Copies of this chain bind each other. A is one copy, B any other.
Amino acid sequence: MSEKNGIVNLYEQNDRFYVAVDCIIFGFHQGTLKLLLIKRKFDPCKGEWSLMGGFLNKDESIDAAAERVLQDLTGLENVYMEQIGIFGELDRDPGERVLSAAYYALINIDDYDKELAASHNAVWVPITEIPDLIFDHNKMVRIAQKQLKRKAAVEPIGFNLLPELFTLPQLQSLYEAIFGDTLDKRNFRKKLLAMDVFEKTEEKDKSNSKRGAYYYRFDYDKYTELVQSGLRFAL
């Protein structure tokens, strides 16, 4: 046992562990929720599907490691991320004892470094068609999806999956994908617009219809007002 500042170091008698982070990266495109998965080009489990992951370094917090791993794959910073927990079964990684902290991230699928992602063999896969993943990654995905579902219903996090400007039909189809359920168009619009957290623009998206749908923007200031007035975002 060593000493530090003259005090016997009680830590050293304990075991130390490898710690990884794994990212469940959500994107949304054409009505479907997708995950950015990688087809591993390295061992262990070369050739199999997995989440993007990486090891925790001495000099970084776990949150920072998750951000780094996400950035290594997508080039993105300042992304909405949420820890879902740490996974620590003895044999979860057959190679060695490794603990893994799982995070989910919500990104705008049109805006990331596609060459970088391609260099890691990353592919967008619809959430309904997730293949068998290595280790306990399927479990992580299940939990992340559940948590997203729960949280998206009470906090305005869905917007992270859309471009800054989005239409209401787009937004509705996003929430339908997240909840795995259809929503009534009129009730959906009524409820959302009643919260008054959107700014309507004059621009229209004509890519889906001849008439075109107005672009809206989520207004964080209005949202702050809503919360301060004692109300909540709710769907």
Contact = CB atoms under 8 A, between A and B. Distances in A.
Contacts of A59: 90
A45 to B, nearest CB: 12
B95 A11 contact: yes
Given A11-B95, A17-B17, A17-B19, A89 B61 contact: yes
B88 A61 contact: yes
Interface in A21-61: 42-43, 55-61
Nearest to A8: B43
Contacts of A60: 90
Interface stretch (A96-104, A127-135, A187-195): A96-104
A184 interface: no
Contacts of A84: 85
A1 interface: no
A91 to B, nearest CB: 9
Contacts of A57: 14-15
A58 B4 CA distance: 24
A83 interface: yes
A80 interface: no
Contacts of A109: none
A85 B83 contact: yes
B97 A10 contact: no
A31 to B, nearest CB: 27
Contacts of A19: 16-17, 19, 88, 99
A38 to B, nearest CB: 16
A102 B59 CA distance: 22
A86 interface: yes
A12 to B, nearest CB: 9
In the A-B complex, the 6 residue pairs with the closest CB atoms: A62-B88, A16-B16, A86-B86, A14-B55, A15-B58, A11-B96
Given A15-B58, A60-B90, A85-B85, 19 more contacts: A4-B95, A9-B95, A10-B42, A10-B43, A11-B18, A11-B96, A15-B57, A17-B18, A17-B56, A56-B88, A59-B90, A61-B89, A62-B88, A62-B99, A63-B88, A83-B85, A83-B86, A86-B86, A86-B101
